[in-house]
Amino acid sequence: MRLAFKHIVLATGLAVLAGCVSAPTQGPVRETVASPAFTEAHQLAQVDARGNAARIEALLASLDDAALSRHTAALAANDPLYPFAGRAMLRRGLQPPHAFDRGWNFDGRQAAAADGYRPPNKVAILLPLSGSLSGAAKPVRDGFLAGYYAETRQRPTITFYDSASGVNGAYQKAVSEGADYVVGPLDREQVSALFTQANLPVPVLALNRGSRGAPAGSVSFSLAPEDEGIAAAEYLLGQGAKNVLVLTGPDDTLRRTSAAFRERLQARGGVVVDQISLSSNADALPAQLTAAAAKGEVDAVYFAARGDHTASAIPAINSQPALANARRVGASQIASGIDSAAEIALLDGVVFPRESLGNRQLSGMPGNPGALTPTAAGAAGRLFAFGYDAWLITAYLEYLATSPQKPVPGATGGLQLDGFGNVLITPTWSVMRSGVAMPLGGR
């Protein structure tokens, strides 16, 4: 009976919306001729936005930039479709027309500075400072402190709490001791546990994404591999590359990256010509590449792989005339696992996302923080940058919430806030030249 009712509502809504899309709330809204995909997405959001999320995202992905921008401009901030449409725009590098409605409250903070700086008064930082995750927590902690101490204006007091023994207890203790903002936890399961409390008395900047979305007023910040895959797909589509050969590494993180890349590319009208695992027998790779090239035109090769696996595949790719001149884009892990200068040289021309440390000057952040502290050396540098950006989000949250069109320049990339309380990272792209990672475009 419930299912039948949904179909009746959907059919009625589609008939009403066949000619236009209009928002039911928040004042006058422009009407515009709607595409069938946007019309369907709008009605699905009205019926059950959460349950229909996957279909809504697929429908919005099928729109070109002009149609997505035009239709999104016709929605009010509290329309149930606006968070989806606004996020789709952000991921394409487009500017949403207005801020997202998430019930923010910044009344207890000091007045905002001209640049948007408006930190809380007393911050509690929940990190696993002991136990199995302490190794990951330390660079995050030190990155946060680097940003915190680089700020010369009035700063909040900060207190660290060890969340290893239980996040709920640490959160309650922080609240009882007067914290008006909480940063953390870092563990995904702990984020889920905290976010089951729909009405958190003190808002949270979670340093991961849980199985539940962030409650109103709270935020999730994560180095999610899925976000990286989506960003890579959008980058290649923006370069006009729609036919992509995907080469994947063996670990779970890279598989998640490649799966998200594939899903986004196909949803936006692109084609994954073939997908080849680099963890299999290396001797079989030349024949696999020959078979892939025979399937159709290849505009780009996407390496969801570490640097050593990518370097081992380059000679075979270069020997294929149909692949030798294709664009080459890699995951952030492409800078890891390389042991020799010869391997590094093979990566020349590969574009990949990396921290912004070598591309822009950030207050209190040296270009090579690993030279100053071991907690920022090697792969830990990304977590150090992540911690630095957690401070920026803490201090500029109101700016992020009210100005989605203007990213905050961070150490991991450009920071923006979507309508679901997730911080989106627009990567800073680099390219390997003569064995050195250089800012793409010479910036």
Tell me whether residue 111 is in a domain. no
**Pair of tokens at residue 115:** 């640049």
Tell me whether residue 333 is in a domain. yes
Query: Strand, helix or coil at 250?
Result: coil
Task: Identify the residue with better confidence: 375 or 207.
Answer: 207
Tell me the sheet residues that pair with 422: 220
How far apart are alpha carbons 315 and 286 in whole angstroms?
A: 9
The predicted pLDDT at position 359 comes to 55
The answer to whether residue 111 scores a pLDDT higher than 80 is yes
Tell me whether residue 423 is in a domain. no
The predicted pLDDT at position 12 comes to 36
pLDDT of 69-98, one tens digit each? 999 999 999 999 999 999 999 999 999 999
Question: Do 110 and 122 touch, CB atoms closer than 8 A?
Answer: no
**Beta pairing class for 122-127 and 181-183:** parallel
Question: Do 108 and 202 touch, CB atoms closer than 8 A?
Answer: no
Tell me whether residue 46 is in a domain. yes
Tell me whether residue 103 is in a domain. no
How far apart are alpha carbons 215 and 102 in whole angstroms?
A: 9
| Amino acid code (one letter) for 131 | G
Domain hosting 11: range is 2-91
Angle, in degrees to the nearest 10, between helices 82-91 and 65-72: 140
Same domain, 82 and 173: no
The answer to whether residue 373 scores a pLDDT higher than 50 is yes
Angle, in degrees to the nearest 10, between helices 65-72 and 36-48: 50
Tell me whether residue 291 is in a domain. yes
Tell me whether residue 109 is in a domain. no
Same domain, 384 and 304: no
Tell me whether residue 117 is in a domain. no
Q: How would DSSP label each residue in 257-287?
A: HHHHHHHHHHHTT-EEEEEEETTS-GGGHHH
Same domain, 156 and 288: no
Same domain, 254 and 329: yes
Region 248-259: mean pLDDT is 93
Same domain, 250 and 331: yes
Same domain, 434 and 312: yes
Same domain, 128 and 28: no
Query: Strand, helix or coil at 301?
Result: strand
Task: Identify the residue with better confidence: 357 or 228.
Answer: 228
Residue with tokens 């505009």: 299
Region 95-116: mean pLDDT is 93
The predicted pLDDT at position 360 comes to 59
Residue with tokens 């500029």: 396
How far apart are alpha carbons 22 and 47 in whole angstroms?
A: 15
Same domain, 267 and 341: yes
Same domain, 306 and 435: yes
How far apart are alpha carbons 94 and 90 in whole angstroms?
A: 5
Lowest mean pLDDT among 128-137, 248-257, 279-288: 279-288
Q: How confident is the model at residue 341 (pLDDT cuts 50, 70, 90)?
A: confident
Same domain, 178 and 257: no
The answer to whether residue 7 scores a pLDDT higher than 80 is no
pLDDT of 302-328, one tens digit each? 999 999 999 999 999 999 999 999 999
Task: Identify the residue with better confidence: 92 or 376.
Answer: 92
Task: Please state, as a whole number, how many other Cβ atoms lie within 10 Å of the Cβ of residue 103.
Answer: 8
**Beta pairing class for 327-330 and 243-248:** unpaired
Write the CB contacts of 234 (distance below 8 Å, at least 6 apart in sequence).
Answer: 91, 92, 93, 264, 268
Q: How confident is the model at residue 282 (pLDDT cuts 50, 70, 90)?
A: confident
Same domain, 297 and 373: no
| Amino acid code (one letter) for 295 | K
How far apart are alpha carbons 177 and 167 in whole angstroms?
A: 15
Domain boundary among 91, 110, 141: 91
pTM of the complete model beyond 0.75: yes
CATH number, position 128: 3.40.50.2300
Q: How many domains does the chain have?
A: 3
Residue with tokens 């203790």: 173
Average of per-residue pLDDT values in the chain: 89
The answer to whether residue 158 scores a pLDDT higher than 80 is yes
Same domain, 366 and 218: yes
Lowest mean pLDDT among 7-16, 56-65, 225-234, 361-370: 7-16
